[in-house]
Structure 1
Amino acid sequence: MATATTTSTFHKDKLQIDILSLERSGDTAVLTARVTNNDDEDAKVYDLFSTSNRFGGQYSTPDGISLIDAANYKRHLPLVEQEEEKCLCSTWDDTSSLAPGEDFEFWAAFPAPPEDVSSVSISTPVTANISGVPVSDGGDIDSEITEADTKDPEILNLDAYQENLEGDSDREQSGEETSIHLSADVLFEVNESELTGKADDTLEDVAKEIDGSSATTIKIDGHADDTGDDSINVPLSEDRAESVKKRLEGLVTRDGVEFETAGHGSEDPIASNSTEEGREKNRRVTVTFQK
């Protein structure tokens, strides 16, 4: 299904990782993979995919592998058995090694991605992310795995930051929330809180995104760089947040949406104030809402 070579081991790219299957059944997904030693000497593989000494040096597991659901900004960690407190997965002796040309297979169980997710990336400690791995449904997963007594699934939020090359906005996204950082230099003249004509296209795009979301509360926060005095910057950032609110109220067409505003002056920078580029990023109005 997918292949990668190691990038951060003594053997460089001589260890090959093949993803054999990723099967989803109900709330469980099982990854099966194979490691092949393409080196001309023995390869130590005892801790290849393990978190550091998690199980006291007795055995190793692939508990360092995770599934990346990029569509929902989620990282799925292996399921952990309730009683033994180890991952629901293969185990192998801590002294294991592979002779040249040898391989071994292993598996690990994860909380399944949502049914509408057809592919994920595989993250391992020793390879680049393996992208585009398809998720198969209806796989013949052993009932001992699907019915195992496990702890609550660990599914972590992934935060993504996207910078707009045109400089009018940046965005941060997690599994549940979007924050759009709108450049104050595009929205307003210097030291002013009245929106410029250039602000319309940007705010229309934001309004369309809000209309397409499930959000009922939109938070609008004004921010400034650290030049000047916050006795001026705080009320200015409040007024700018209010101006954006009023414009979005007229642009958002969906009912049941409320707006909250606040001004923070220079207290919450997202970049260094020691450069003009950083100060420009800090002069912003941030619009945050649930997806």
Structure 2
Amino acid sequence: MDQPFPPSGLPRTARLFLPMALSAVLLSACVTTSETSTPSPSADGTPNSTETPSNEISPVATSTYTASSEGTNLRFSIISLERISEEMVVLSIAIKNEGFEDAYVIFSLSNVNGQQSTPDGVSLVDTVNQKRYMPLKLTDGKTCHCYSWNGKELLASGDSINAWVAFPSPPPEVDKVAVTTPVTPDFLDIPIIEATGTKEEIAQTPVGEPQILDLRAFQDDIESGTSRADSSEENQVILSSDVLFELNESDLTPEAEEILKGVAEEIDTSSATTVHIDGYTDNTGDDSINIPLSEARAESVRQALEELVTRDGIQFETAGHGSNDPVGNNDTEEGRRKNRRVTVTFAK
């Protein structure tokens, strides 16, 4: 169900938990090179130290976010990306509080529906092969094969956390990747180096099936309410429900017709024989409201596209998912807006 979100409705601690919701100033990542040694996880899979990294250690790349209203200034540093076996690489990260007051880092690097206090929202991007590598999970299929700072979420001024996360290994010929996180600009051209120190326990830990995704080029047009997440094989148009529909309604607005005309033209010129239309809501309300609303909205888009598409032989399939599969944080106004959407997916 759609529900307007109060602009200042979060308490102080919640705003610190959710850095992406803040009016943050994200500074561009600056890449440096280093030939010095880097901190390595110990035999039990945890970093050797949770203290501030030594001044002698130069990170590969750094990025910060600043929230002036809270005095929060966290520095995220990529320490190293090491190939510890043919199947696994390990990324080492440092998070330092450079602000003047304590900062909560509980959700800083976690996935939207992932594990709190872990870097399971970090990914590696292989731009050569157009692949995104997600963190490895243990054999339970849920637990990230990574360091957890559970119990250390409150980071005092000047303190830091060293964390690591394991990924499927890119092909041997790939020697650089980009690193993406939920709270920083992308770290570009991070070199993959051979492992230093002993990481046998990490390498030998049983893990589940690797998750390697086709890379999608994402474009976000806030004014039009239309975003894209295209891959090499298919197009995905993400339509904002706030533009397509009135609050809690499934009848298309006048603005929606012009937007859907453009989508129909793309479908006409594509090779698609099947078009998938999926509706989603934010998490206000419950499934008894959200799922029927998302289904009705997907159906309205289907009816409009069937009339607008001129090419024969195209089948339309619709589904409503309610608040499942969020792409934004439902505790923030911006995140809830992103989650209220209808996606149209079809082959190129």
TM-score (norm 1): 0.53
Instruction: Give the number of the structure whose alpha-carbon radius of gyration is greater.
Output: 1
Deviation of 1:153 after TM superposition, in Å, equals: 0.3
Match of 2:121 in 1: 64
2:158 to 93, 101, 111: 101
Offset of residue 13 of structure 1: 7.1
User: Alpha-carbon deviations, 1:22-61, whole Å to 9, x = none?
Assistant: 0013110000010111110101111211124634xxx521
Instruction: Report the Cα offset of residue 6 of structure 1.
Output: 2.5
1:16 aligns with 2:72: no
* Conserved? CA contact 1:68–1:122, under 8 Å: yes
Bigger shift: residues 141-150 or 91-100: 91-100
Stretch deviating more after TM superposition (13-22 or 134-143): 134-143
Aligned AA (1:50):
S
- 1:91 aligns with 148
Richer in strand (by share) = 1
1:4 paired with 2:4, answer no
Contiguous gaps of at least 5 residues in structure 1: 163-171, 180-225, 227-233, 238-263, 269-286
TM-fit CA distance, 1:96: 1.6
- Once the two structures are superposed, the pairs formed by residues 213-224 of structure 1 within 5 Å of their partners are none
Q: Which residue number corresponds to residue 108 of structure 2?
A: 48
Structure 1 partner of 2:184: 127
CA distance in 1, matches of 2:183, 2:74: 10
Count of matched residue positions in the alignment of Structure 1 and Structure 2: 179
Name the CA distance, whole Å, in 2 between partners of 1:153 and 1:90.
18
Corresponding residue for residue 285 of structure 2:
none
Gap change, CA 1:124 and 1:141, over 3 Å in 2: farther
Question: Secondary structure in 1 aligned to 2:207?
Answer: coil
- Is structure 2 residue 133 aligned with structure 1 residue 76? yes
Q: Is the 8 A contact 1:122 1:131 kept in 2?
A: yes
SS at match of 2:202: helix
The aligned amino acid for 1:29 is V
The whole-number CA distance in structure 1 between the counterparts of 2:205 and 2:68 is 33
Q: Does 1:38 align with 2:95?
A: no
Contact 1:36–1:103 at 8 Å: present in 2 too? yes
Structure 2 counterpart of 1:118, from 156, 172, 175: 175
Q: Distance in 2 between matches of 1:10 and 1:136?
A: 39
Q: Deviations over 1:87-130 (max 9, x none)?
A: 11001225621111111100000001111111111111111111
What is the 5 A alignment of 1:1-291?
A: 1-6=60-65, 14-24=73-83, 25-52=85-112, 54-55=114-115, 60-83=117-140, 85-93=142-150, 96-140=153-197, 142-160=199-217, 174=231, 177=233, 265-266=310-311
SS at match of 1:109: strand
Deviation digits for residues 51-100 of structure 1, max 9, x if unmatched? 24634xxx521101111111111111100011473111001225621111
In structure 2, what is the Cα distance between the partners aligned to 1:12 and 1:135?
35
Cα distance in 1 between the residues matched to 2:101 and 2:92: 25
CA RMSD in angstroms comes to 3.5
